Structure 1
Amino acid sequence: MRSMDFRPQTGCLPFKDPMLSPVTARVVTSFSCACILVRPVVRTSSAAREPHNEPAPSTSTVADVDKEVVAEKTRDGMHRFAASTRKVGATRLVVDSLKRVSLTFLGDDHTLNYAVAKVVGSRLGWFAVDVPKVICGMRKAVSLDQLTQEERAIAEVEVLRGLRNQFRIIATPLPGGAITHEAVWADLWGSVIVWIDEEDKQRPKGRTPERSLYEDRAEVVVRTKVQKGFAVKGGNSLENRAKAVAELLLPRLSDYLAEFPELADRKRQYVELGCRGDWPHLQSPSCSSVVQGLAADRKPLVGFESSGNAVADGNAMELASEGTPAICV
């Protein structure tokens, strides 16, 4: 059997299979040219006659002064955001402004306060303290119902006192508990006090001593309205209520810290000095409230009352003339 060699003719492409007929080279075209289809754009006469849409004149009734104020606030906000160490979002701005200072959430509903604390804590990186759980662990009780009101208040005072030196936590004191005692506020002033007030039109809240206390001591107030009906997205569950409060709380907290930029540093200084109860007028580190109390209770000797007052007045005038700050004793 003889082998046969198939040689293509001149001007044809070679093929190994002898069953295929040779293809003329001039029939083969480039792939890029064969696959591109150019479709001409047809413009109708109506489209050609259509005029360009010009922006309509503004019909806003807002004064130019208000617009300038809004623009200035926007620039300030962007400047504060640009000064953030890590530009992750608005939450990072709050974290940088707090400088590890803790938060305290007050309100009539402790369950809602703790739910908001968990939501805010997850966003800021703060730890939400479950005060009832800690109290039950200290007293070895299953629930707070096993403790009397006095035992509950004493345990809560111990918990809040132990938390005053801790940073990046969110405490939620019990309504009507230890916060009604004035001595406890010496431990709470080391954190930013936030009042969460949920309003219900069907059940209006009267003015109670506790609400008066919240109004006087709170530094940031967040008021929300209870939404009811089938139109509420996701239902009126505790989780949705807590998320709604958190959405209002974080921007308001950011604005408050921007208005008082030195607040976080003063809070940290108050904690480092030992939470002596001298907020907001911090005294020098050499001052001692115990020594001041003893000096106030000290009585002069009989027959030297006037001389003691005269010596004290003379020392005060001498210090004032020299420009030397008075030192607490």
Structure 2
Amino acid sequence: MVTCIAAASSTATATLEYSTLKKPNRTQLFPTILTFSKSLHSKFVTAVVNHPSYVIPRLVNKTNNRIRCCTSPTTSTTTTHYEFSDGPIEVELRLALGDGDLSSKEVSVDANENSLVVKISRFGSVQTLMDTNSLYHKINPGETIWYIDDDQLVINLKKQDPELKWPDIVESWESLSSGLVQLLKGTSVFLVGESTEINEKIARELAVGLGYTPLSTRELLEGVAKQTIESWVSAEGSESVAVAESAILESLSSHARTVVATIGDGHGAAAKTNNWRHLFAGFTVWLSESKATDEGSAKEEVIKHIKDGVRGYSNSEVVVKLGGWDATYSKSVAQASLSALKQLILSDKQLPGKKSLYIRLGCRGDWPDIKPPGWDPSVGTDASRSTV
């Protein structure tokens, strides 16, 4: 089970959960989207959808703004070829119908905000051309238009967010990594959590997908100190390691297009609530192992952590709950992180710009309520105004 929580803004949080089931030669994910206010007093709004992660488009040909792909649908053993193009207010999907005449009465198109099911009935059987509960983003289902054009079924889907560019029709590793590059606008990503190993593994996956530079504060510190973090902790204590890592994070805070894996095991700077000044320069993801046995208890665990705010990790903008750890599924964890980051940024498209401003003003620790230039974090006043 992988649970993702993305802080949508100062007043709301969006949650995605993925349960990972091992099946022969494939992994299936079932995400749940949940929103709640940080006051924790509002009711939960939950929508459960299926995400067949093993149905990942394979790029066949790309010309201009149209992508030709092929996928194996979840309920059909045949291969469905489709063309996809992104427009200013809608996306167009063209599905191959194969040989033979087909009337509109034999076609079924069922569209909802996040899902699309396309079936054809002929020769006494039903064939599924597409079945996805994971469209790249929300559509207006009531404005869906479709028609038959020779040997293709053409479906026009109206985007809820006209400004958002769709790399593909479905949310997959390829479409998320491509789409997040545009949304992040160079903003770095910091991975925090109890396990240094997990942080580093997922950082490498994300860096490859985004085309970012992977960095490890553990490797940087061990290179300078010429000793392992474990021996450092034994000799000088974890506080000394946290101080040294804070200095590294200060240097990295001005870097763009990096995925930084921080030190876990409670030894690093991120474990302390007062060491987040420079972590806020990027989008922060908490990769948290959980002992919860089901999604409900995982939700309660996350809510408790956010409400208590005892751990420094609870300052994170995205939380990914891991029901156990298996490096084999690191790409699934990375994909879940990208999906949560996408929802976070789409909830407030000004976030990357605010991160940039926060860095330019010196990462003074005033995130997310950025104070005017001249603000003195040591006294909590606006020095520039006090001298006027």
Q: Compute the TM-score of the two structures, normalised by the length of structure 2.
A: 0.50
Partners of 2:108 and 2:188 in 1: CA distance: 50
- Evaluate the alpha carbon distance shift between residue 70 and residue 82 of structure 1 in structure 2; reply closer, same or farther with a 3 A threshold: closer
Q: Which residue in the other structure is 1:197 paired with?
A: 288
Q: Which residue in the other structure is 1:188 paired with?
A: 279
> In structure 2, the residue corresponding to 1:76 is in which secondary structure?
coil
**Corresponding letter in the other structure for 2:159:** R
Deviation, 1:65, is 9.3
Q: CA RMSD in A?
A: 4.0
Question: Deviations 1:116-168 (Å, cap 9, x if unpaired)?
Answer: 01000111122222111111122122453244323322221221122111111
Deviation, 1:294, is 11
**Corresponding letter in the other structure for 2:334:** A
Within a 5 Å distance, the mapping from 1:221-260 to structure 2 comes to: 221-226=319-324, 237-238=326-327, 240-260=328-348
- Evaluate the alpha carbon distance shift between residue 219 and residue 146 of structure 1 in structure 2; reply closer, same or farther with a 3 A threshold: closer
Question: Deviations 1:172-220 (Å, cap 9, x if unpaired)?
Answer: 2223222244442111111111122333457999878998536641212
Q: Which residue in the other structure is 2:369 paired with?
A: 281
Q: Which residues of structure 2 form unaligned runs of 5+?
A: 1-102, 117-136, 142-157, 169-173
Partners of 1:129 and 1:99 in 2: CA distance: 19
Q: Which residue in the other structure is 1:266 paired with?
A: 354
Deviation, 1:55, is 3.9
> In structure 2, the residue corresponding to 1:104 is in which secondary structure?
strand
Q: Which residue in the other structure is 2:165 paired with?
A: 81
Partners of 2:166 and 2:105 in 1: CA distance: 35
- Evaluate the alpha carbon distance shift between residue 290 and residue 71 of structure 1 in structure 2; reply closer, same or farther with a 3 A threshold: closer
Deviation, 1:78, is 6.8
**Corresponding letter in the other structure for 2:160:** D
Q: Which residue in the other structure is 2:187 paired with?
A: 101
State the identity as a percent.
21
Higher mean C-alpha displacement, 192-201 vs 109-118:
192-201
Question: Deviations 1:94-132 (Å, cap 9, x if unpaired)?
Answer: 111111111111222221111001000111122222111
Q: Which residues of structure 1 form unaligned runs of 5+?
A: 1-51, 227-235, 296-325
Looking at secondary structure, tell me which structure has more strand per residue.
Answer: 2
Partners of 1:66 and 1:131 in 2: CA distance: 38
Q: Which residue in the other structure is 2:73 paired with?
A: none
- Evaluate the alpha carbon distance shift between residue 212 and residue 77 of structure 1 in structure 2; reply closer, same or farther with a 3 A threshold: farther
- Evaluate the alpha carbon distance shift between residue 201 and residue 184 of structure 1 in structure 2; reply closer, same or farther with a 3 A threshold: closer
Q: Which residue in the other structure is 1:305 paired with?
A: none
Task: Give aligned pairs, total.
Answer: 233
Instruction: Say whether the 8 Å CA contact 2:373–2:382 is kept in structure 1.
Output: no
> In structure 2, the residue corresponding to 1:129 is in which secondary structure?
strand
Q: Compute the TM-score of the two structures, normalised by the length of structure 1.
A: 0.58
Partners of 1:72 and 1:56 in 2: CA distance: 20
Partners of 2:336 and 2:197 in 1: CA distance: 18
- The structure having more radius of gyration, on CA atoms, is 1
Q: Which residue in the other structure is 2:213 paired with?
A: 127
Within a 5 Å distance, the mapping from 1:1-329 to structure 2 comes to: 54-55=105-106, 71-72=139-140, 75-76=159-160, 79-81=163-165, 89-147=175-233, 148-149=236-237, 150-175=239-264, 176=266, 177-201=268-292, 212-213=310-311, 216-226=314-324, 237-238=326-327, 240-290=328-378, 327-329=385-387
